[in-house]
Homo-oligomer: A and B are copies of this chain.
Amino acid sequence: MSNDPIRPVPRSAAGFPDLFAGDVGARTRMIQTICAVYERFGFAPLETPAVEYLDVLGKFLPESDEPAGGVFAFRDDDEQWLSLRYDLTAPLSRVVAQYGTELPQPFRRYQVGPVWRREKPGPGRFRQFIQCDFDTVGTRSPAADAEACAVLCAAYDAIGLAREDFQIHVNNRKVLNGVLERIGLVDPERQIAVLRAVDKLDRLGIEGVRALLGAGRLDQTGVFMPGAKISDEQAKVVLEFVSAGDPDRGVVLRRMEAIVGESAIGRAGVAELRSIAELLDVLELPPSAVCFDPAIVRGLAYYTGTVLEALLTFGDERGNDRAFGSIGSGGRYDDLVERFTGEKVPATGASIGIDRLLDALKASGRLREERKLGPVVVSVMDQSRLADYHAMVRELRDAGIAAELYLGERGFRAQIKYADKRSSPAVVIAGSDEFARGEVSIKDMRLGEELADSIKDRDEWRKGQPAQRSVPRAQLLATIREILARPS
């Protein structure tokens, strides 16, 4: 390699970002907080590998042995196709089918980890991102669906969102199917076109949905989106349904009931939502936290009952209400292991999108986070005193304080600059003067910064060095503790 004159360009692939100190810390803390909530609700951790057989993930192109789009696939040495997982649900279904009755039933697991999507990367669209899932497998009880809402609320509370910052929107696919039955729409393709139109209510408004239910719609970029071409009569029912939202869950239930009429599937869906409403009351989750929203559709080929989506209620600075999109979603899917066993196993759960949540909290200034401080840096003023510097570092570390000796080979100014880049709270300085006096100088890096902000003449301030003081060597630890205790 070293003989090769062509050197590789050091670069990461698009959609695969690097994460540095502070951002890793914020994400790790958020994940730990969320996992603690999941455990409090009785979910146990599971870790499946990043790589699965492609047939297990169900990602072959139909009637072919080529991988479908959207996944990173590669052949094993025995020519079998392997793939990076694209979500945590497909591996869960494999585990449930593989381990069967060895698992507790119901099986309540959470899993946190990266997933990979072979998609065109773009701003905010990554090809590797973290999912944070919890699911209850093996129960039809609506209590598990209501609980999913409670888990999400508790998780958002725990990471520091205010209750008015988010709202969970709940619907039921059986109710949507009831509406389709009620209007006599049996063609699956047009059914899907209707659901796709309903799903766009938040972006296009009621007139946009009306156009998509009928002849179609020309969007702002001049692209024509063909419509579901249902009759005005049929569209009227669908539009009445998507407009059935109300802050009162009971009102939504009554409106839904009226619209689905005698449809058996529709009535079953309303009954499930009614059970959930009762449990939400018991769990003291008011409609401001969990509302019923007839326009929530979610994954078309996937969910079979409850569907839910958690949305931030605040928008970006431009007033775009849905700028930050969904921060969690889930629902009930009864076909989880059917692909493997032919057997229907009811399951319900949800997932929190960590990366998007972090972005939204950061962008809106809501990230509840002590500014994460770096290590105390003990600077090197005199190479013959390395043992003394090491002893200082050890003393701080033994007291549980992150600390390090400056290990570079540059002078004092570079050392201070280094400490600044590391967000160090303090720099310890001891040269021959200090050693002669039995003292150490300590520079409070945060105080220095604040003073610099309030003082016009930086040069003048630098001469004074009010943020730096000398203390007896024996008071090193106490002084550093005092500096660390000051809120930033």
A residues within 8 Å of B by Cβ? Answer: 1-2, 7-13, 16-21, 24-25, 27-28, 32, 39-42, 44-53, 55-56, 58, 62, 72-74, 76-77, 80, 82, 84, 93-95, 97-98, 103-106, 108-109, 114, 116, 118, 120, 127-128, 136, 138-141, 143-144, 147, 154, 278-279, 282-284, 335, 337-342, 374-375, 377, 386-387, 390-391, 394, 397, 400-405, 407-410, 414, 418, 421-422
B20:A46 contact, CB within 8 angstroms: yes
- Residues of the B chain whose Cβ atoms lie less than 8 Å from the Cβ of A74: 72-74
Q: A72-B74, A390-B283, A408-B105 are in contact. Are A42 and B341 (CB under 8 A)?
A: no
CB < 8 Å neighbour of A8 from B12, B53, B120: B53
Q: A72-B74, A387-B282 are in contact. Are A11 and B105 (CB under 8 A)?
A: no
Question: Nearest-CB distance from A367 to chain B (Å)?
Answer: 17
B108:A42 contact, CB within 8 angstroms: no
B46:A18 contact, CB within 8 angstroms: yes
B49:A282 contact, CB within 8 angstroms: no
Question: Nearest-CB distance from A215 to chain B (Å)?
Answer: 33
CB < 8 Å neighbour of A18 from B49, B284, B403: B49
- Residues of the B chain whose Cβ atoms lie less than 8 Å from the Cβ of A407: 106, 108, 136, 139, 141, 143-144, 147
Alpha-carbon separation in the docked complex, A12 to B27 (Å) = 29
Nearest 9 A/B pairs, CB to CB: A42-B404, A42-B375, A16-B49, A10-B97, A21-B44, A24-B45, A10-B98, A104-B421, A19-B47
Alpha-carbon separation in the docked complex, A40 to B143 (Å) = 44
Question: Nearest-CB distance from A416 to chain B (Å)?
Answer: 12
Question: Nearest-CB distance from A307 to chain B (Å)?
Answer: 19
B82:A279 contact, CB within 8 angstroms: no
Question: Given A12-B49, A16-B50, 8 other A-B contacts at CB below 8 A?
Answer: A8-B55, A10-B93, A16-B49, A24-B44, A40-B397, A104-B418, A279-B387, A283-B394
Q: A24-B45, A139-B408, A408-B138 are in contact. Are A53 and B116 (CB under 8 A)?
A: no
In the complex formed, the residue of B with least CB distance to A375 is: B42
Question: Nearest-CB distance from A104 to chain B (Å)?
Answer: 4
Contacts A/B (CB < 8 Å), 8 sampled: A1-B339, A10-B56, A13-B80, A16-B50, A20-B46, A42-B377, A104-B422, A105-B408
In the complex formed, the residue of B with least CB distance to A400 is: B40
In the complex formed, the residue of B with least CB distance to A374 is: B44
A77:B118 contact, CB within 8 angstroms: yes
B97:A403 contact, CB within 8 angstroms: no
Q: A11-B98, A116-B51 are in contact. Are A403 and B339 (CB under 8 A)?
A: no
- Residues of the B chain whose Cβ atoms lie less than 8 Å from the Cβ of A400: 40
- Residues of the B chain whose Cβ atoms lie less than 8 Å from the Cβ of A2: 335, 338-339
B409:A139 contact, CB within 8 angstroms: yes
- Residues of the B chain whose Cβ atoms lie less than 8 Å from the Cβ of A9: 56, 340
- Residues of the B chain whose Cβ atoms lie less than 8 Å from the Cβ of A53: 8, 11-13
Q: A48-B12, A82-B72, A374-B42 are in contact. Are A143 and B405 (CB under 8 A)?
A: yes
In the complex formed, the residue of B with least CB distance to A113 is: B114
Question: Nearest-CB distance from A10 to chain B (Å)?
Answer: 4
A114:B11 contact, CB within 8 angstroms: no
B279:A13 contact, CB within 8 angstroms: no
Question: Nearest-CB distance from A129 to chain B (Å)?
Answer: 10
In the complex formed, the residue of B with least CB distance to A42 is: B404
CB < 8 Å neighbour of A95 from B16, B18, B397: B18
In the complex formed, the residue of B with least CB distance to A57 is: B8
Question: Nearest-CB distance from A477 to chain B (Å)?
Answer: 14
Alpha-carbon separation in the docked complex, A24 to B28 (Å) = 16
A56:B8 contact, CB within 8 angstroms: yes
B404:A8 contact, CB within 8 angstroms: no
In the complex formed, the residue of B with least CB distance to A138 is: B408
- Residues of the B chain whose Cβ atoms lie less than 8 Å from the Cβ of A49: 12-13, 16-18, 128
